[in-house]
Amino acid sequence: MKQSNTVKNSNIFFWVSFISHEVTVEPQSRASHLLHAGFGFSFSSSCGFLNILQAEESYQKQICQGTSLVVQWLREGIKVVLPIFWGKIISYVENYDPANSAALHEAYGYAAGLSACVLVWSVLHHVYFYHIQRVGMRLRVAVCRMIYRKSLRLSSSAMGKTTTGQIVNLLSNDVNRFDQVTMFLHYLWVGPLQAVAVTALLWMEIGMSCLAGMAVLIILLLLQSCVGNLFSSLRSKTAALTDDRIRTMSEIITGIRTVKMNAWEKSFIDLITRLRRKEISKILKSSYLRGLNLTSFFAVSKIMIFVTFITNELLDNLITGSQVFVVVMLFEALRFSSTLYFPMAIEKVSEAVVSIRRIKNFLLLDEIPQLYLQLPSDGERTVDVQNFTAFWDEESETPTLQGLSFTVRPGELLAVVGPVGAGKSSLLRALLGELPPSQGKVSVHGRIAYVSQQPWVFRGTVRSNILFGKKDEQDRFEKVIRACALEEVMTLDNGTRCHINQRMAGLLLLDSRVQPFSARASRLAHISISATYSHNLHLKVTGLARRFLPETVLKQDTLFNLCSSFLISFLFFLIIFGMIYISTNFKLSY
């Protein structure tokens, strides 16, 4: 497929393409080409931000777009045609003439058409919502992947403009708006068009009296536009409050040790409660507006019918039973599309626009520039820095690095020495491309190995942390051990097979309320202690605990010491009870 060279940096989402396209993607291609294959977009990250290229539509996608629109058009058109068939059948019953065989056959035709319309509508209704929900799901998954890829490419300056809580909120709340908006988006044009068609049919049935009822509908639509603006405003405020709450919770969890040591739990609980209360207040207002929309669904159609018939009576127009039935059915046809789905479409679109704006702002954050490593052509230079100046904060007047120039040749060892905060780590970040230059240039030839100031160690063995998923080659592994001066690792228990970062205590002090164990409790204690601390701890158990712990647990290297005050109270109770029992028996014997 040919791709257009037009770059769309701000207009990320094109709703018509999102809703109308439906294509088949192979399972192995869905993860990496979902937006491109399903919606006509592709990724390009060669610039400092995510570029979205609009591709030309293929013949298959054009067919899918037309099919989606035709299905929706037929589905809603059938709802308008059904009252006409019902009116013809009722009119035949009102003017029944046994001798008129032509009218009988005509009534049979109307009944057959009515049955066919109901059958077709039932099929189209479920097929339409099935495919439209698939489109929303695919869109949500694609946007989640975009956010995930973007989060791995954020520059250091961009990371200061966002938080982990905001990213989590985008992935958990904002992307879910696409599932909802796709279900009702078509009703933004279906509702008004269907209202125009119903008005024309009502004019043919009862004349200008129908305009009174349609005036009620127009007033409702104007009110819904105002409600949509309120939904958009409340969604923006709710999202901001949710970001603040999640960011605060993340900071509390990160510093939970300090919070516990200083007994700040109550203060932070109050802080989170206040943030959550503000968030809930906005959610409640949105719920009230949503309830108002549902109220209009149940009440407006009845009001429209009432106003129409009152106006018809004031104009002294005669109306038959079949006309009454047709008018009621036509207004009922508008009940879902104009008084339920249309307001919901305004609500969901208003919320989705806010989510789109938030996602777009995140996707347009600066990325780490792609570092193109070059092989040394002359073998004279590996790193070449010329008049380098850079800022971590673009608004700051003091540069982080200023006027640096140096060259590192192959085989040289360069040590950067300076006080804390002098910019040593920033210099390494500049060589990695994470600190973009505001002046000068940095040229790096060959491959780079970076050892960060704070090592990242995952739970596992020493060997798995060194290999990091690569193939285990013993000769190369030993060379790495010697090159990194890690020979002392071999002195650990199990050598390089020793588990690290498990936070396993070397000594267990259990000062809980140790009560006489039942058989089930003894088994649980045996499983937990022997499975967790079988290789680490040494055991000394008090006499009372020794009576109730199984021998298999007592043989483990575990310390079970310092019985609690409950045991002392229990022993004291036994002594007092024994003294009373002995004294009582002594008195009875005399």
Instruction: Indicate if the alpha-carbon torsion angle 70, 71, 72, 77 is positive or negative.
Output: positive
Pairing outcome for strands 51-55 and 439-444? unpaired
Assigned token pair, 196: 């125009």
Weakest-pLDDT range from 378-382, 560-564, 574-578:
560-564
Q: What is the pTM of this model?
A: 0.58
Q: Which two tokens stand for residue 405?
A: 């120039």
CA distance 101 to 92: 12
Q: Whole-angstrom distance between the N-terminal and C-terminal Cα of the chain?
A: 111
Interstrand relation of 499-500 and 460-461 (parallel, antiparallel or unpaired): antiparallel
Is pLDDT at 33 greater than 60 in this prediction?
Answer: no
Q: What is the pLDDT of residue 379?
A: 58
Of 572, 513, 569, 506, the C-alpha closest to 545 is 513
Residue 557 banded pLDDT, cuts 50, 70, 90: very low
C-alpha to C-alpha distance for 90 and 311, rounded to whole angstroms: 24
Top-confidence residue, 124 or 581 = 124
Say which range, 195-204, 359-368, 451-460, 471-480, has the weakest mean pLDDT: 451-460
For 80: left if phi > 0, alpha if psi spans -120 to 50, otherwise beta; the answer is alpha
Q: Which residue blocks in 1-151 are alpha helix, DSSP H?
A: 15-20, 34-39, 59-94, 101-151
Residue 583's pLDDT band (cuts 50, 70, 90): low
**pLDDT of the residue at 561:** 40
Please give the average per-residue pLDDT across 285-293, as a whole number.
82
- pLDDT at residue 478 in the model: 83
Nearest to 243 by CA among 129, 134, 358, 331: 358
Partnered with residue 54 across adjacent β-strands are: 41
Three-state DSSP at 374 gives strand
pLDDT tens, 305-317?
Answer: 888 888 888 887 8
CB contact at 8 A, 325 and 87:
yes
Regarding predicted confidence, which is higher, 418 or 550? 418
Order of strands across the sheet that contains 41-44: 3-8, 51-55, 41-44
Cα separation, 12 vs 364, whole angstroms:
10
> Which band of pLDDT confidence, cut at 50, 70 and 90, is reported for residue 432?
confident
Alpha-carbon span 43 to 436, nearest angstrom = 23
Angle at 8 between CA 38 and CA 68, to 5 degrees: 30
312 vs 207: CA distance, rounded Å: 9
pLDDT at position 586, please?
A: 45
* pLDDT number for residue 42: 42
Average confidence (pLDDT) over 407-434: 81
Residue 543 — pLDDT band, cuts 50, 70, 90?
very low
Place of tokens 């024309």: 200
Beta bridge partners of 154: 367
Residue, of 393 and 4, whose pLDDT is higher? 393
Q: Please give the backbone phi and psi of residue 441, each rounded to the nearest 5 degrees, phi first.
A: -150, 160
At 519 the pLDDT is 57
Is 186 a residue whose pLDDT tops 50?
Answer: yes
Measured from the Cβ of residue 400, the count of other Cβ atoms closer than 10 Å reads 18
Distance separating alpha carbons of residues 113 and 106, to the nearest angstrom: 11
Helix axes 342-363, 187-206, angle to 10 degrees: 160
All structural domains of the chain, each given as residue ranges with its CATH number in brackets, are: 3-363 (1.20.1560.10), 383-444 (no CATH), 460-500 (no CATH), 519-589 (no CATH)
Non-local CB neighbours of 58 within 8 Å, separated by 6+ positions: 1
Q: Each residue of 467-494: pLDDT tens digit?
A: 877 777 888 888 888 887 777 777 777 7
The strand pairing partners of 560, in sequence order, are 541
Name residue 499's beta-bridge partners. Answer: 461
Whether residue 581 is predicted with pLDDT greater than 70 in this model: the reply is no
* Confidence bin at 1 (pLDDT 50/70/90): very low
Residue 567 is predicted with a pLDDT of 52
Q: Which two tokens stand for residue 375?
A: 């092989």
Confidence (pLDDT) at 505: 54
Identify the band that residue 420 occupies on the pLDDT scale cut at 50, 70 and 90: confident
Collapse the DSSP code of 350 into the 3-class scheme (helix H, G, I; strand E, B; otherwise coil) and give the result.
helix
Exposure class string for 167-181: b at 16+ Cβ within 10 A, else e = bbbbbebbbebbebb
Task: Tell whether the model's pLDDT for residue 324 goes beyond 80.
Answer: yes
**Dihedral in degrees, nearest 10, Cα atoms 151, 157, 161, 167:** 10
Q: Name the band, by pLDDT with cuts 50, 70 and 90, for residue 52.
A: very low
Higher pLDDT, 417 or 24: 417
Q: Which of 1-15, 93-107, 349-363, 453-467 has the lowest mean pLDDT?
A: 1-15
The proportion of the chain whose per-residue pLDDT surpasses 70, expressed as a percent, equals: 70
Q: Whole-angstrom Cα distance, residue 94 to residue 90?
A: 6
> Of 165-174, 277-286, 506-515, where does mean pLDDT reach its minimum?
506-515
User: Does residue 284 surpass a pLDDT of 80?
Assistant: yes
Residues 6+ apart with CB under 8 A from 159: none
pLDDT-based confidence at 544, cuts 50/70/90?
very low
Angle at alpha carbon of residue 546, lines to 542 and 551, rounded to 5°: 140
CA angle 61, 65, 66 (to 5 degrees): 120
Residue 423 confidence class, pLDDT cut points 50, 70, 90? confident
Q: Which has the higher per-residue pLDDT, 535 or 370?
A: 370
Question: Nearest CA to 253 among 173, 362, 163, 172?
Answer: 163
- Please enumerate in sequence order all residues whose Cβ is within 8 A of that of 69, keeping only pairs 6 or more positions apart, or say none: 20
Helix (H, G, I), strand (E, B) or coil at 564: coil
Question: What's the mean pLDDT when you consider all of the chain?
Answer: 72
pLDDT digits (tens, 9 = 90+) for 95-154: 777 777 787 888 888 888 888 888 888 888 888 888 888 888 888 898 999 898 888 888
Count Cα neighbours of 331 within 13 Å in the Cβ-side half-sphere: 28
255 vs 248: CA distance, rounded Å: 11
Report pLDDT for 568. Answer: 54
The answer to whether 302 and 335 have CB atoms below 8 angstroms apart is no
